[in-house]
Structure 1
């Protein structure tokens, strides 16, 4: 079974796991491609591919394009060899997905969080959803590889603990041992990471950015970022990806929730924009992003000016990270990014104007996976943890 194969940490299994991982991350792969990449004898490679086929972890999916001679046979991961769960735990909602071994989404469910959603209530509902998916689509517990959680931070990745997150509406979210609580209830190995890391990993993996450095940025009630390279994020313990929103962009500027002045959060978060709208239009019914987006798109001049100014600050902040980290691609995620073209274009334009190496090509785009990215990436990270770090 895939679960036992991936959990096997014996040295003799390491190369076979790397071969499986390569096939998984490249979709379809020929034996010649694998031989070039791993530089192993033909007999060794053939033996391992035969073993993976016999264990029904991979299969021959068809013929590739010939380059003189017989067309190569292509290998692909068996989609029913195992299953992964991914959970997106944000300040406003929880999304759970079930993925097959090819990381196709088989099932998805979301519930919104409000001030009644304590850790106990939230984890209980996650457990209920996982059990429902397991009974409906899997049945055999041994086919479940693991579960990943992409959460707001700060977190302790290694211990699986949510430490002291900002802005949950309910109380009690400090020092929540979420990985062990879910494992105790479900007996599924559970891995915790920052939501921005898992979202970036999903875009990196499914978008085939295998040779590029990827900067993934989320803007919303918080501003978070991650650099993904070789499937590994730059964020480490205590896993506070929200710190990216507290870079200083205005000396002695607006007071931020962190107590400092001039942070990017104080100018570009949803809360900052909504506060400014209320200062200009006292009593206007703009209480969250759902209220803000239609007013920007309808052409309200003053609100659009507020939002575009926030976009400029955000663009400057992202450009700072581009200048420091030198990514090949920038992926932007957030409600305004996806739903307000003028906001996205202003952010993109500001990044281009403010970055240092203008002669270097830089892809700047919206995320392809949208709101699914964090949950899907959390499931994908289970494979990365088992293969890359074993």
Structure 2
């Protein structure tokens, strides 16, 4: 951008902006990058962020998969690695795995640890951001994920400071960054996977509650006499109808009653039916599994309608294993959400699966470090 463009964007005097630009160029935060087109006089000097001024890691901690992204000052992704969270991936093992990957990435890019401003962590809640602690998340395959001081563990293993945010909030921050040219201010992010997670943004800022509970949307009651998921939470909660676990439980129960042929089709005990089994059957257009997903989509649409009626977002980004597994699930949920929105058709939010998709959490987590870094 030219100085003239910056003057029109910020409430600064010409002399103040000139001094700031000179200081930032001297400090290496900005670099000059040629000349812009002339508007009648001399061609203006253009400024841009120095991509090598600092670097950031973004770490996603989820229940099915986790990922580590590495970014420069312009938020260009320099590296991405992803791994499955299995029974062996305890907090201690994950910390070792992350530290090893960070050392390898820095070595590959011929960078030193001091050039990294920090590590942003987007994790499954509930958590305590102020202390960098993951509290009592459900359904991690490995043991030990209770009251984990994850920021302290990562910082000690890597020598790089870490900050913690809920994964849903980090994903929404990342997606807003990817859509920054549209200047969206009121956004909603909903992730439907092992559990349900959500985040809200109002006036361009993440809405934080008094506690960091990203999964509260899953406890929205949509059927007062409905089931309870794994003897936890509210009866008739949305998560009991829309989650990987809910679909697995329904399929296993129906198989035991002889209401589906999954055990015979895949030569397995009904109790071993997994989400991967359902995806395989879905790819083969199994009628029972198709109906199972579509029924779940209808409940998901009702839950989304409730959120729209409360918040009235401009943009709704949907992600997670259920949303990405089956296109009609995504489409049906949107149709039902709009049909049950009180302000429809006067207010019609736009829907998408996001720009960053599976990279959103790690990107948003890195962005949090970038925004908070001292300049």
TM-score by length of 2: 0.90
Question: Gaps (5+ residues) in structure 1?
Answer: 1-28
- What's the secondary structure of 2:119's corresponding residue? strand
Task: State how far apart, in whole Å, the 2-side matches of 1:298 and 1:39 are.
Answer: 59
Change (3 A) 1:114 1:211: closer
Task: State how far apart, in whole Å, the 2-side matches of 1:243 and 1:296 are.
Answer: 29
> 1:241-390 maps to which residues of 2 (within 5 A)?
241-257=214-230, 258-282=232-256, 284=263, 285=266, 287-358=273-344, 359-386=346-373
CA contact (8 A) 2:251 2:273 kept: no
Task: State how far apart, in whole Å, the 1-side matches of 2:196 and 2:40 are.
Answer: 52
Measured against aligned partners, the alpha-carbon deviations of 1:32-62 in whole angstroms (never above 9, x if no partner) come to 3322332111010011112112222122335
Q: How many residues align?
A: 360
Question: Gaps (5+ residues) in structure 2?
Answer: 257-261, 267-271
- What's the secondary structure of 1:281's corresponding residue? helix
Residue in structure 2 matching 1:131, options 82, 99, 103: 103
Change (3 A) 1:351 1:161: same
- Superposed displacement of residue 66, structure 1: 6.5
Deviates more, 1:230-239 or 1:211-220: 230-239
Change (3 A) 1:237 1:111: farther
Q: CA RMSD in A?
A: 2.1
Residue in structure 2 matching 1:162, options 130, 134, 143: 134
Task: State how far apart, in whole Å, the 2-side matches of 1:160 and 1:138 are.
Answer: 29
Change (3 A) 1:47 1:263: same
CA contact (8 A) 1:85 1:379 kept: yes
- Superposed displacement of residue 67, structure 1: 6.6
- What's the secondary structure of 2:78's corresponding residue? strand
CA contact (8 A) 2:117 2:373 kept: no
- Superposed displacement of residue 316, structure 1: 1.1
Residue in structure 1 matching 2:178, options 188, 192, 206: 206
Measured against aligned partners, the alpha-carbon deviations of 1:60-116 in whole angstroms (never above 9, x if no partner) come to 335556677666544321111110001011012221111111111111112212122
Task: State how far apart, in whole Å, the 2-side matches of 1:63 and 1:351 are.
Answer: 49
- Superposed displacement of residue 239, structure 1: 1.1
Deviates more, 1:328-337 or 1:224-233: 224-233
Measured against aligned partners, the alpha-carbon deviations of 1:276-325 in whole angstroms (never above 9, x if no partner) come to 22233345357443332342343222211111110111111112111111
CA contact (8 A) 2:128 2:212 kept: yes
**Other-structure match for 2:206:** 233
Task: State how far apart, in whole Å, the 1-side matches of 2:160 and 2:167 are.
Answer: 20
CA contact (8 A) 1:119 1:176 kept: yes
> 1:95-106 maps to which residues of 2 (within 5 A)?
95-106=67-78
